[in-house]
Every structure is written in structure tokens, then in C-alpha cells.
Amino acid sequence: IVSHPSLAILSDAMRNLLAALNELPNVQVAVISGRALADVQKHVALPSIWFAGSGGAELWLNGNRWEYPHADAFRCELDRLQ
């Protein structure tokens, strides 16, 4: 746990562990994050795993991107509240 999200990093050891787990038969690794999908993908840098960004509002599964239909409206509301 860090004081600011920008300080959170994935160690090389953890990245290697996630990659190795993803290679096991009948295993699919997924990373779920509050970060935007593109941001979490950039930080993890393992394109073959699944991702849920923005707390699950954005998904990357088997190379296909899906976004909750009302995600843009929620983003605008969050920006307004901040």
C-alpha cells in the first residue's frame, strides 16, 4: 500500500509470477484495478492476461475491450464531484 496511486508499481518478480500462473493449464489470470483500463495495462505489461479497469467498468478479455454502457456519464459525474 502506498500513499498515492502513482507510487504503486508491480515488481518484476510479481509480473513474472503472474505470467507463469497464466501459462498453467486451465488458469486465466485477471488483474482488477480502480485505474483506467489503459493505465493498468501499461503498468502490468502482460497482454495475455485479462484486465478489469475503472473498478470493472472497463474490461479486456481475450483481446476484446468492453465498457459499461454508462461509463462516460459516470466519469463526467465523478469529475464534477471532484
Predicted TM-score (pTM) of this structure: 0.80
Percent of the chain with pLDDT over 90: 62
pLDDT of 31 above 90: yes
pLDDT of 3 above 80: yes
pLDDT of 78 above 80: no
- Identify the pLDDT of residue 71: 76
Say if residue 25 is exposed, middle or buried (CB neighbours under 10 Å; 0-12, 13-18, 19+): exposed
Instruction: Please give the grid coordinates belonging to residue 9.
Output: 508499481
Other CB atoms within 10 A of residue 62 CB: 7
